[in-house]
Structure 1
Amino acid sequence: MEPFVSQEKQTPSLFVLEKWGRETEAAAISAGFTGRQGGVSRVPYDSLNLAFHVGDEPGDIVENRKLTAASLGFSLEDWTCGEQVHGVQIGVVHEEDRGRGSLDRTSAFQNTDGLVTHVPGVLLTSFYADCVPLYFWDPVSGAVGLAHAGWKGTVGRIAEEMVAKMALEYGSMPQNIRTAIGPSIGECCYEVDDRVMDRVRDIGFGGLTPEEAAKSALYIDKGRGKYMLNLKEINRHIMIKAGILAEHIECTSWCTSCNHDLFFSYRKDGGTTGRMASWIGMRKR
């Protein structure tokens, strides 16, 4: 069953990780992924662009963030994010960090592709147009986190870095952590060359041998140095190697490139497009 459920009548458009909300008292955990519709941005960022770095009008982005936060039961002052660089650095969000990056890029956590917190009322967000959003929740410690995993973050094992950071900061044990892999470009659409595949091979396909990787559909060799790569599945194997139980991993079937009417796609849109946001936060009681 698809874990990211489309809220068809919702404006702005949302894809909600409903299972996690149902598993917490009074739906205390809010987590999910935005679509591309229901905002105020104009072409080519139409219409729910949520990132500053793409060239959209700043005022429209702020309005889109206000609309999105309000629809989730949060405010713009709760919206907290990093300036992503396709790296593996993870920022720890304290109460005094609430709202960093909500109004501009300079106040965001710099050079940061992952965020973690255990502060209720903080809304963690990160931005996407094909890369893989990773979600983390420890129901024991109450910590939550997000990680942005393009191919560089994937081969850098940002999922493993997040598990280690949650253990260090909050005493989280991997077997207690719930994770989810959100909407992103699928193996159906993500063609890469030997430059990328060599880096994937360097990390052992997320812990599998080349033979196991070939059998598990992590990639399809198209010949002539071209491959169809499954970043979602590689991240799933990295999570398992980091100690996450397989039954604690939710994985989407949504492909951002195939579903261009629902999502921005860097590849489908030729590089000039908006960005969706992943989000996770604990509502104040």
Structure 2
Amino acid sequence: MDPNKISWKEEQGTRYLVFPPLGEAGLSTHAFTSRPLDLGFGREKREEVLKNRRKVCRVLGMNFLLLTAGEQVHGTKIVKVGEAERGRGALSPEGVIRHVDGFISNVPEVPLTILTADCVPIFILDPVRKAIGLVHAGWRGTLCRMTERVVLMMEEEYGSRPEDLIVALGPSIGPCCYQVGEEVASAFQKQFPEWPSFISFELASEKWTLDLWKANRVQLRKVKVRDDNIVDSRMCTSCHNDIFFSLRRDGSPTGRMMSLMML
């Protein structure tokens, strides 16, 4: 990992991660939040979550009321977000866009968001066509090729060329901590000829391990995104108890980090 490709910032007591390559074009604002701020509605009182969201938006220069969120059901639905959709889910979980795990947009001032504890948040920027994508990819979303689907949708909707895209894979559970069952390993083996590059079997524990970062890189390569345009934090949420929430480590309920991206 190139340390120059990720950067921690702290402003007004809010610590967050950014990927400098996404900001070099001067087109987008983005962030991946950290503990102790819980940005999801699953654990904290609603008033506390809204307070945390306002705090993050103030630091990033985003309009808190325009935060746009999906239900996140580990499915394959992707929504093209415009002015009509922005603000859905900003104030309550009831207001989110239903059954959505991926967003694309080419409209300025539309802050896209996803919530994660161990799943991979994937940021996509097209600096040529001026468009963005944001993907929620746990093992189910990765198996369903959500990252690949979002890139193809950006091609279709905006004329994006994969070789122009800049992609960042945010912190998630790493292969060091992500053991999966035989049924999950088998599902990937059936869908991905490249599976030996991201699934391994540990003889000592007799468990399979899954590398979600590499599995999503496989998809990006397939749709011709350049390797040198992919930034990978390779930071495991389960390992870093001091800065990240982790469902696998902490159990339920636990907090959520938020990935935000806006033109």
So what's the TM-score if we normalise by structure 1? 0.87
- List structure 1 segments (4+ residues) > 4 angstroms apart after TM superposition: none
**Structure 1 residues 66-123: Cα deviation after superposition (integer angstroms, max 9, x where no partner):** 1111111112122111110011211111112221110112221100001111111111
Report deviation, 1:32: 2.5
In 1, are the aligned partners of 2:112 and 2:261 still within 8 Å (CA)? yes
CA contact (8 A) 2:19 2:231 kept: no
With 58-67 and 9-18 compared, the bigger mean Cα shift is at 9-18
Alignment equivalent of 2:202, drawn from 209, 215, 222:
222
SS in 2 for 1:154: helix
Code of the residue aligned with 1:18 in structure 2: it is P
**What residue in structure 2 maps to residue 41 of structure 1?**
none
1:252 aligns with 2:233: yes
Structure 2 Cα separation of the partners of residues 226 and 245 of structure 1: 33
Q: Equivalent residue for 2:28?
A: 29
CA–CA separation in structure 1 for the residues paired with 2:11 and 2:88: 30
Q: Which one-letter code corresponds to 2:232 in the other structure?
A: C
Query: Would you say 1:115 and 2:103 are equivalent positions?
Result: yes
Q: In 2, Cα distance between the equivalents of 1:140 and 1:94?
A: 19
Q: AA paired with 1:15?
A: L
CA distances 1:156-177 after superposition (whole Å, capped 9, x unpaired)? 0001110111112111121211
User: Which residue is equivalent to 1:276?
Assistant: 257
Q: CA deviation at 1:250?
A: 0.8
- Equivalent-residue separation in structure 2 for 1:55 and 1:131 (angstroms): 18
**1:55 correspondence with 2:55:** no
Residue segments in structure 1 that go unaligned for 5+ positions in a row = 38-47
What CA RMSD, in Å, does the superposition of the two structures yield over aligned residues?
1.5
- Give yes or no for the alignment of 1:158 onto 2:146: yes
Letter in 2 for 1:136: I
CA distances 1:154-210 after superposition (whole Å, capped 9, x unpaired): 000001110111112111121211111110011111111101101111221xx52x5
Are residues 1:14 and 2:19 paired?
no
SS at 1:168 equivalent: helix
Maintained 8 Å contact 1:123/1:279: yes
Counterparts of 1:230-269 in structure 2 under 5 Å? 230-269=211-250
Structure 1 segment 85-100 matched on structure 2, within 5 A: 85-100=73-88
Select 1:195's aligned residue among 183, 186, 199: 183
Distance 2:166 2:72 in 1: 23
Using a 3 Å threshold, how does the CA distance of structure 1 residues 173 and 243 change in structure 2: closer, same or farther? same
- 3-state SS in 2 of match to 1:7: strand
CA offset at residue 253 of structure 1?
A: 2.0
Q: CA deviation at 1:9?
A: 5.6
* Matching residue's letter, 1:222: E
C-alpha separation in 2, matches of 1:10 and 1:247: 33
User: What amino acid sits opposite 1:258 in the alignment?
Assistant: C
Q: Which residue of 2 aligns with 1:149?
A: 137
State whether residues 90 and 162 of structure 1, in contact with CA within 8 Å, keep that contact through their aligned partners in structure 2. yes
Distance in 1 separating the partners of 2:206 and 2:136: 27
Q: Could you tell me how far apart the structure 2 residues matched to 1:253 and 1:174 are?
A: 22
**One-letter code of the match for 2:249?**
K
Q: What secondary structure, in the 3-state scheme, does the structure 2 residue paired with 1:268 have?
A: helix
Q: Could you tell me how far apart the structure 2 residues matched to 1:250 and 1:10 are?
A: 27
Please give the TM-score of this superposition, normalised by the length of structure 2.
0.94
Task: State, as a whole percentage, how many aligned pairs show the same letter.
Answer: 38
> How far apart, CA to CA, are the structure 2 residues paired with 1:243 and 1:32?
25
